[in-house]
Amino acid sequence: MSRWVIPVLLVTLTGCVAGLAPADRDSGPVIIGQAKTPLTEWAAGAAPTGPGESAFHVLDSGRDAFLARAALIEAAGTRIDAQYYIWNDDPSGRYLAARLLLAAERGVRVRLLLDDINVAGDEPLFAALQQHPNIQVRIFNPAPARDGAGRWLSFLSDFERLNRRMHNKTFVVDGAAGIVGGRNIGDEYFDFHPELNFLDRDVLAIGPVVGSMANNFEAWWHSRWAYPLTQLYPEDRSGQDLAAVAQRLRQHARKPAGLGLTPPATSAAVTRELARFSGGAVSARGQLVFDLPFGDADQAADAPGNTAVALGRLAQGAQEEVLIESAYLILTHEQLAQFDDLQRRDVRVAALTNSLASNDLVTNHSGYARWRREMLRQGLVIHELRPDPANCPVWLARGDFCTGGAVGLHSKSAVFDRKIVVIGSFNLNLRSIFLNGETLLIIHSRELAGRLAQDIDIAMAPANSWQVRLDDDGELSWQGVDGDHSSEPAVGWWRRFTSSLLALLPIEKYL
């Protein structure tokens, strides 16, 4: 999260910025219960029969993740609740926003909750949605100043509060089906971006666990720090005609451009997509763990959240192996001490994370690099994703992209003893442990655990990643299909220098 580096370096130079007024608590229409809709009927037919079980379809590909969201929007009958850290105004973001608008026009109630950190610049998109009486948009933990230098001063003057972000990503439709995991809304998460696409993972769920997803949304929606968009932007400041923006959205919904596929927009297409996802679902016991929004802005962020505690318990219960996928990997002495017991019991802990070449944020890589030797000394097996993995055409199903584009890792997954799967928004770093709101879906399924473990093993193969080791002299080396490297591979000296310089700074908690 490079956007935090300047506030960290300049925090001592802060000035005064006026605070926000209390959030307007006019919540609008309230929907109680679960009405019978085509989606609830589909979910009832697809739900497992085992007591306490839910049905899970893991969305490994960006294409499937996009199609699942598009199909759920079209099948919605009563309500859609979407909560995201990032929602881009790009072809995929505009298309899904446009279909939300069309859903609202047929009577579906839509609530959209967005973290403030990435809203700036995209206000017309969300303001155009907010114009519809069936759509409400709220912004979590906003800065008092909305643009320009004042926005940076807001971060500097209110550093502790504004470092607490809503990183959760949930998508719940009709209270019957939900998607949770690591993906934001944007081209790079759905394999549509021309230059950089992320390997990511989320889960389409049907059954009791969807109720927990809804509870997570309600907790954050009703937080005192969730502000109606109309309170932050009482009028459109972009100079754009919001009615014209909404009309362009409707046109994009009916004739999407820049996607490279035809989203399901007819009843027959939606039925086919939903049948495909339910047909590939696995029934298992599942539990959603989520962090609650902070209350007091002055309270120290020094205690692990619910999600961090749950992960720690799973790790301590492991008997043989822990496999980790984490876009950002930063563990310091306090966290590494918890691995002592695993090491004594010969539990193998292996992690896949980004290399400097595949990481979209040099700042985050610097925090990882600062602790990389210590993690290796602690016995962690570390693999770093190549930007040009051999498996790119398989993962992205886009041979044209793989000849010139870069692949990055954004997924946040873990497998414990090949029988428990964890998929969520939680990166294994200090920000997720102490500062962010996160979600974790824990699934007890040997079938899904076996599949995910195999996927991680493939990603760790020499053709797809470099294994980082310490030699006898304590020096780092990167080993892959292209041989051994004594410095960060596939990047130039300036990127290496920048990462090394930033790694000297003790700012890992804020990355």
Confidence category of residue 19, pLDDT binned at 50, 70, 90: low
Residue 228's identity, in one-letter code, is: P
Supply the pLDDT for residue 153: 81
Range(s) of the chain covered by CATH 3.30.870.10: 52-279, 301-510
pLDDT > 90? residue 25: no
Catalytic residue among 167, 252, 383, 419: 167
What is d(CA 481, CA 483) in angstroms, rounded to the nearest whole number? Answer: 6
Predicted confidence at residue 148, as pLDDT, reads 73
Phi/psi at 266 (5° precision): -105, 160
Domain 301-510 annotated CATH 3.20.20.70: no
pLDDT given for residue 8 in this prediction: 43
> For this structure, is 485 an active site residue?
no
The answer to whether 210 and 243 have CB atoms below 8 angstroms apart is no
- For residue 26, the model assigns a pLDDT of 57
Instruction: Supply the pLDDT for residue 237.
Output: 62
User: Which residues pair with residue 287 across a beta bridge?
Assistant: 442
Measure the N-to-C terminal CA separation of the chain; round to a whole number of Å: 5
Q: Which tens digit of pLDDT belongs to each residue from 284-322?
A: 999 999 999 998 877 778 899 999 999 999 999 999 999
Q: What is the band of 34 on the pLDDT scale with cuts at 50, 70, 90?
A: low
Q: What would the pLDDT profile of 56-82 be if each residue is shown by its tens digit? A: 999 999 999 999 999 999 999 999 999
| Catalytic, out of 169, 193, 365, 383 | 169
417 is catalytic: yes
Report yes or no: 250 and 241 within 8 Å, Cβ to Cβ: no
Residue 1: pLDDT band with limits 50, 70, 90: very low
> What's the CATH number of domain 52-279, 2.60.40.1930, 3.30.870.10, 3.40.1360.10, 3.40.50.720?
3.30.870.10
Catalytic one among 57, 365, 412, 509? Answer: 412
Is a pLDDT exceeding 50 seen at residue 15? no
pLDDT tens per residue, range 371-419: 999 999 999 999 999 999 999 999 997 778 998 899 999 999 999 999 9
User: Which residue out of 90, 417, 457, 482 is catalytically annotated?
Assistant: 417
- pLDDT for res 239: 61
Stated pTM of the model: 0.93
Query: Is 419 one of the annotated active-site residues of the chain?
Result: no
Say yes or no to pLDDT of 2 above 70.
no
Residue of 410, 419, 455, 509 with catalytic role: 410
Question: CA angle at residue 190 from 184 to 192, to 5 degrees?
Answer: 125
User: Does residue 6 carry a pLDDT above 50?
Assistant: no
- pLDDT (0 to 100) of residue 236: 62
Catalytic residue among 115, 122, 174, 200: 174
